[in-house]
Amino acid sequence: MKTNFCITLIIFLVSFLFLNQYANAYFPLAESESSIWGKWKYIGFIYRGKFQGPPNPNLVLTFEFLKDGSDILRWTYTNEEGFCERKGEYSYDGINLTDKIVWVNPKNSIECQKDPDMVKDKIQITPLRRVDDQIHLDIPLSDETLIYILAMNNSMK
């Protein structure tokens, strides 16, 4: 009886280790998601191949991706009152960021209501690339693409 239990336990452990290696090799989602964990700060955009800083130098926009699959998007303007903030649930498959907005801060500034990133239950699918210490988000703009650039902000960790 003890021998059968030990054999079963060994088979289970070996199977678990094998399946865990298989999952990591063939389903890299967890590794892809971990590559975007942390707080990121908007530093500008690329349009028609040219980098441009934020249109308003007082804009402070941050996007935080948490290990539990949630995210927080928040922005405000330096020396101004008010902010916009929302929470989402995300997944990242190494190509696209899928984000569902699950909560919008009821204390948001009134102008946040006009922003499509502040609509509860909205699902957005956005191409995302890691480029060095940056995240590039491809935002469609008519026939062209605007690339938002977020940089890891070590002071915000």
Residue 6 has pLDDT above 70, yes or no: no
Amino acid 156: pLDDT: 45
Classify burial at 145, counting beta carbons within 10 Å of its beta carbon; exposed 0-12, middle 13-18, buried 19 or more: middle
Amino acid 48: pLDDT: 95
**Which CA distances in Å does 71 have to 49, 54, 78, 143?**
29, 22, 22, 29
Percent pLDDT > 90 in the chain is: 72
The mean predicted confidence, pLDDT, of the chain is 83
C-beta of residue 129 within 8 angstroms of C-beta of residue 148: no
Classify burial at 146, counting beta carbons within 10 Å of its beta carbon; exposed 0-12, middle 13-18, buried 19 or more: middle
Residue 57 has pLDDT above 90, yes or no: yes
Amino acid of residue 7: I
Residue 130 has pLDDT above 70, yes or no: yes
Cβ-based neighbour number of residue 40 at 10 Å: 23
Residue 13 has pLDDT above 70, yes or no: no
Amino acid 54: pLDDT: 95
Amino acid 33: pLDDT: 78
CA 80 to chain centroid: 26
- Structure pTM? 0.76
Amino acid 154: pLDDT: 62
Amino acid 135: pLDDT: 97
9 or 112, which is more confident: 112
| Residue 153: pLDDT band with limits 50, 70, 90 | confident
Residue 68 has pLDDT above 90, yes or no: yes
